[in-house]
Structure formats: structure tokens, C-alpha cells
Amino acid sequence: MPVEPGKEKEQRDDWLKIELSAVEELNDALTNFLIEIGAQGVFQEYPEPQETGICPMSPPQETLKAFLPCDAHLEQRLAALQNYLGSLAELFPALEEPGFRTEVIHDPGWGETWKKYFKPLRVGRNLVIKPTWEPFIPSGTDIVIEIDPGMAFGTGQHASTRMCLEAIEAIRLEDRTFSTLHVLDVGTGTGILGIACAKLGAERVLCVDNDGQATKIAQENVLMNRVEGRVTVADRDIASLTEPFPLVVANLTAKILIALFPHLIRLVRPGGQLVISGIIEQNKPDIEARFLSQSFSLGRLITEREWVCYVLNKEGSNR
């Protein structure tokens, strides 16, 4: 079968599949770390239930599957993962130490892999995240967001994305001026948060990401959800932005959020709000030391297992 123009390199790309076995208590932290070192998708598989009889059994191990690009940084990424597993073993000596195996594969078939794990999901009161290939009949109050994730981050299946969506919906319910808001979505990924803001009624949304492939996928999702009149997707660094926004959302990682703090504080208008997530419990002290300062106060804290999401209020009243 002929190869489409421009697809030759894509089809020859090699990926390292990592299958990592760990007890459930460690999976959130491991998922976050795998994403931080560049994993393009992390999927979780649960073991089949087993009969326990009368003998107590140790917690079952679950399998995390992740894909790393076979590039010049692969050895460094694997070394970082090995060191992180050693750190977890020291921190949690009572838990069975995680282990992993690897396999080099060609063309992992991302579209089909995501379809296996991505099903319609209800978030908050009225939001429903629906993959494009899944049928769904909405009720009268449902706000449906269709997403085709490709290789971008943000499907609603991860706790950090769900909490951001919950926070945005709560802001909309509490703020009568939401329909006039201009929103900034930093590190947009699939565009899911920006699209949600538009579908919830925000007047204008700017979605930015410095990953060209993510912005391409986000733009496709914007068109699919018919919100292109209010949502702009841009491949740019937030350091280049000058306009402040009443609402800024950023679902990243603690390390990146702390690095971006000077820009985030600058881009939230006085009296505005900042929603941040992608943060695990152990990083709360670092985040709070940086963000809960004279500029921001805590409006709401949302938690799900080991993940946290902050809704922060900026001092001032000029919204």
C-alpha cells in the first residue's frame, strides 16, 4: 500500500514500550513521573480478580504501560526512572518495589491504543467528555466535549484534568460574568480545558502550547466542537503574552508550574483566578510556598487520591 506523502518518517519511528508493575498506592506518582520524563501516553491495566480463600494476600500489582521515543534522551530518561523507583522503595519500604521491562516497537498504533482505554466520562454536574469514536446520547443538560487525543495530553481520564474541569464548571456556576470572560489555557494539550471554557460560555479563549503536534490536535478538536469562533489555538511561549486574563488555567506539573510562576502571576488580572493542577500530594509544600503569597489566596482545593488542584484568587478587584 502506498505511503502518504510526509508519512514515511512517522512510520519508521521507533518507540520504547515500558511495562511497569506496581501496587496501586504508587500508580498515581509513577504516572505523573512517566509523563514528566516524556512518556507519550500512560495506560493502566488492572489484574483479573483472584480468589483469596482464607489466606491474606498482598495488594495486587497493576501494570502501567508507557511509550518513550527512541531518541538521544532515552538513556537519560531510563536512568531517571530507575533512580525514581529506588527513591520510592526507600520512601515506602513496606510496599513491594516496582519493576519494569522494556520492548522496542515500531509504529505503536496510537489511535487504536487510545480507543481501548478512552470511554465517555461524566465530569462535574453537566460536562461529558466523549471520544469521537464512541456513541453517546446526551440528556437535556449535558454539555458534551468531543475529543480525539492523538498523542496529546488531556482526555479527562486523568485526575488532574477532571479536577480542572470540575473547578472551571464551579467557577462558571458561581460567576455571573463568566460569559464575558477571556480565558487563557496554558499547555493546552488536546485543548480540552479551553474547549470546556468555551462550551460553558466564556466569550474568548486562548489556548497555547509550545508543542506543535499538540496545537495541531487541539485545533482539530476545536473545529470538531464548533467553538472556533471563540477559541484560538497558538503554538507559542507564554513569555510572549502581554494581555492579562480574568481566568488562567494550567494543567502541567509542579516543576513546570513553579518555573512559570512569574509569567502566571503576570497573566492573571487583578481580581482574577488561576486554576493549576498536575500536582501530586508530595509537591504541595513547594507549590504553596510559591503560589500562596501576597499575590494569591486559596479559593478552593480539590483532591482526588494523590492529585490536587488549586483555585487561586489574585488580589484586587479590577476584573
Based on the fold, state whether residues 208 and 308 are members of the same structural domain: yes
Calculated CA dihedral for residues 184, 185, 187, 189, nearest 10 degrees: -150
Is the confidence at residue 12, as pLDDT, over 60?
no
The pLDDT confidence band at residue 6, using thresholds 50, 70 and 90, is: very low
Element (H, E) at 312: strand 307-314
Is position 256 within any domain? yes
Based on the fold, state whether residues 175 and 34 are members of the same structural domain: no
Query: Coil, strand or helix: which one is 73?
Result: coil
Is position 3 within any domain? no
Is position 1 within any domain? no
Is position 7 within any domain? no
Residue 225: give the domain boundaries.
Answer: 114-314
Lowest mean pLDDT among 8-22, 66-80, 215-229: 8-22
The pLDDT confidence band at residue 299, using thresholds 50, 70 and 90, is: very high
Based on the fold, state whether residues 124 and 225 are members of the same structural domain: yes
Q: What is the DSSP letter of 156?
A: S
Is the confidence at residue 310, as pLDDT, over 80?
yes
Based on the fold, state whether residues 101 and 118 are members of the same structural domain: no
Residue 299 dihedral angles phi and psi, to the nearest 5°: -95, -40
Block residue for cell numbers 489556548: 207
User: How many domains are contained in the chain?
Assistant: 2
Cα dihedral sign, 280-286-289-293: negative
Is position 285 within any domain? yes
Based on the fold, state whether residues 249 and 148 are members of the same structural domain: yes
Based on the fold, state whether residues 16 and 126 are members of the same structural domain: no
Q: Which CATH number characterizes residue 216's domain?
A: 3.40.50.150
Query: Coil, strand or helix: which one is 109?
Result: coil
Amino acid at 65: K
Q: Which CATH number characterizes residue 98's domain?
A: 3.30.70.120
User: For residue range 89-138, what is the model confidence (pLDDT) as tens digits?
Assistant: 888 888 888 889 998 887 656 556 656 667 788 888 899 988 888 888 88
